Amino acid sequence: MATLGAQKKHKVTIVGSGNWGTTMSKLVAENVNENPELFEQEVQMWVYEEDVTIPKESRHYDPGSASASKPQKLTQIINTFHENVKYLPGITLPKNVIANPDVGAAVKDSTILVFVLPHQFIAKVCDQLKGKIVPYARAISCTKGVDVGEKGIRLISEYIGMSLNIYCGALSGANIASEIAQEKYSETTVAYDPPPMDSRAPTPKGSRQPSPASSQVDLIDTDKAVTSGQRAARLKALPIDYPPLSHQNIKKLFHRPYFHVSLVSDVAGVSLGGALKNIIALAAGFVDGLGWGDNAKAAVMRVGTLEMVKFGKAFFGDSVNTSTFTEQSCGVADVITSCSGGRNFKCAKKAVALGVDINEIERKDLNGQKLQGTLTAYEVNSFLKTKGMEGEFPLFTAVYNILEKKVRPEQIPELIEPKDD
């Protein structure tokens, strides 16, 4: 419910335009249309600009046109045909999705930023956003991955929040984008739990341009985490002339008849589920690529899910609820869907079946889409090594060693077998 007297509306920008990013723009734009009292009608979608030739099989390919075989700017194609012919072909986007190649212009005056980028690009894009966003903006990360530095591990939502000095929640679930784009039913989990802040004041006059955020991002050392109180003190309250970003209003932004949202407060659990299931999906692909069948796949899914819960508890402590992994879409359900039809699963399977490096399959088969599991397996391994805990996460370690070609997929059963003391 909008607050009485709220005169402003939230402007929403989707930061990213891949397979999931474009799907997210579609469903958010539909919701913005249905809730005009809360949201501005235009949804900006930042596009990493590239030249794209409209494929011959596309309904927008016109052999008679002089530009038929000439590459065109992807933003131009999206804004003309309302379709992302490269990353989400065949799906018509609402006309209120506006593709923008300039990330600073795309986020100008936006109070809601939805990040949907492959995690390897988050740091650079956050750097580009410093000083460009309103200081009271709120973010939701739909990115699946973690950030590992020399001193520790951070959730992507934490990275975004700390780098831009804003609050960032997370959205993750059993969400294969192409199915959701076709409006087939699925569920998702949104974690949104901003710390309580001082009472809200009206938007200060002439304050649309924020002061630049600190260029220094705090590293979360898991042994010496910044307290939530310290972080809350840096956040700016949303001015009172905007509708509140309550759970109810956040739900109105994402929930669709075909996309059912469950709201929770466990940002760490939701983020870790999305990141770690990608390592499990690689393991499932490896055993399926060997032709070992569904029982083998179920075994690695079981062990991987236990490692996911153990990882969350070991390194994120009480901020993680085990029930987030077991009861929410972002946990076991995402493991199941990702190990059935996800890109990480499919590429890992093909790599083993053909005896080809998975990075080569990614390059050849995905047309620019990115795997997240391979990099996450390296990042998680490098973090576990610094903690001396590789042995306690045998499946995650086996996936890393398979990618490094130090062990073979056939060794997975012996590698994940509990060791006698």
Ligand X SMILES: O=C(CO)COP(=O)(O)O
Ligand Y SMILES: NC(=O)C1=CN([C@@H]2O[C@H](COP(=O)(O)OP(=O)(O)OC[C@H]3O[C@@H](n4cnc5c(N)ncnc54)[C@H](O)[C@@H]3O)[C@@H](O)[C@H]2O)C=CC1
Write out the residues near ligand X by the rule CB under 6 A.
144, 174-176, 278, 281, 334, 337-338, 342-344, 372
Do 284 and 351 touch, CB atoms closer than 8 A?
A: no
Residue 344, binding choice from ligand X, ligand Y, none, Cβ under 5 to 8 Å by partner class: ligand X
Q: Which residue has the CB atom at the shortest distance from ligand Y?
A: 18
* Residue labelled with tokens 């989707």: 14
Q: Is 17 one of the binding residues for ligand Y (CB under 6 A)?
A: yes
Return the range that interacts with ligand Y (CB under 6 A); candidates 33-41, 54-62, 297-305, 367-375. 367-375
The secondary element (H helix, E strand) that includes residue 41 is strand 39-46
Closer CB to ligand X, 163 or 344, in the complex: 344
Catalytic residue of the set 9, 11, 26, 277:
277
User: Rounded to whole angstroms, what are the CA distances from 47 to 42, 44, 286, 334, 340?
Assistant: 15, 9, 33, 26, 29
Closer CB to ligand X, 249 or 338, in the complex: 338
- Give me the least distance between CB of 96 and ligand X, in Å please: 26
387: CB partners within 8 A, 6+ apart: none
- What's the sign of the alpha-carbon dihedral 240, 141, 248, 25? positive
Residue 334, binding choice from ligand Y, ligand X, none, Cβ under 5 to 8 Å by partner class: ligand X
* Residue labelled with tokens 């506006």: 98
Return the range that interacts with ligand Y (CB under 6 A); candidates 18-26, 215-223, 240-248, 260-268. 18-26
Tokens of 338: 């990702």
Q: Is 25 one of the binding residues for ligand Y (CB under 6 A)?
A: no
* Residues 35-64 contacting ligand Y, CB under 6 A: 48
Q: Which of 32, 67, 10 is nearest to 241 (CA)?
A: 10
Q: Is 32 one of the binding residues for ligand Y (CB under 6 A)?
A: no
Q: Which of 107, 154, 352 is nearest to 272 (CA)?
A: 154
Return the range that interacts with ligand Y (CB under 6 A); candidates 16-24, 33-41, 325-333, 405-413. 16-24
* Residues 389-408 contacting ligand Y, CB under 6 A: none
Q: Which of 12, 129, 177, 235 binds ligand Y (CB under 6 A)?
A: 177
Angle of CA points 118, 123, 127, to nearest 5°: 130
Annotated catalytic residue 364? no
- Backbone phi, psi, residue 321, to 5°: -100, 130
- Give me the least distance between CB of 421 and ligand X, in Å please: 36
Q: Is 76 one of the binding residues for ligand Y (CB under 6 A)?
A: no
Closer CB to ligand X, 86 or 343, in the complex: 343
Return the range that interacts with ligand Y (CB under 6 A); candidates 113-121, 250-258, 351-359, 396-404. 113-121
Q: Is 331 one of the binding residues for ligand Y (CB under 6 A)?
A: no
Residue 18, binding choice from ligand X, ligand Y, none, Cβ under 5 to 8 Å by partner class: ligand Y
Tokens of 82: 């309302």
Residue 370, binding choice from ligand Y, ligand X, none, Cβ under 5 to 8 Å by partner class: ligand Y
User: Rounded to whole angstroms, what are the CA distances from 22 to 39, 78, 213, 333?
Assistant: 19, 10, 28, 22
* Residues 237-276 contacting ligand Y, CB under 6 A: none
- What is the C-alpha end-to-end distance of the chain, expressed in Å? 58
Do 87 and 369 touch, CB atoms closer than 8 A?
A: yes
Tokens of 337: 């869907």
Percent of residues in the chain assigned helix, strand, coil, to nearest 5? 45, 15, 40
Active site (catalytic) residues: 277
| Residues found near ligand Y in the complex (CB under 6 A) | 16-21, 48, 87, 116-119, 121, 142-145, 175-177, 368-370, 372
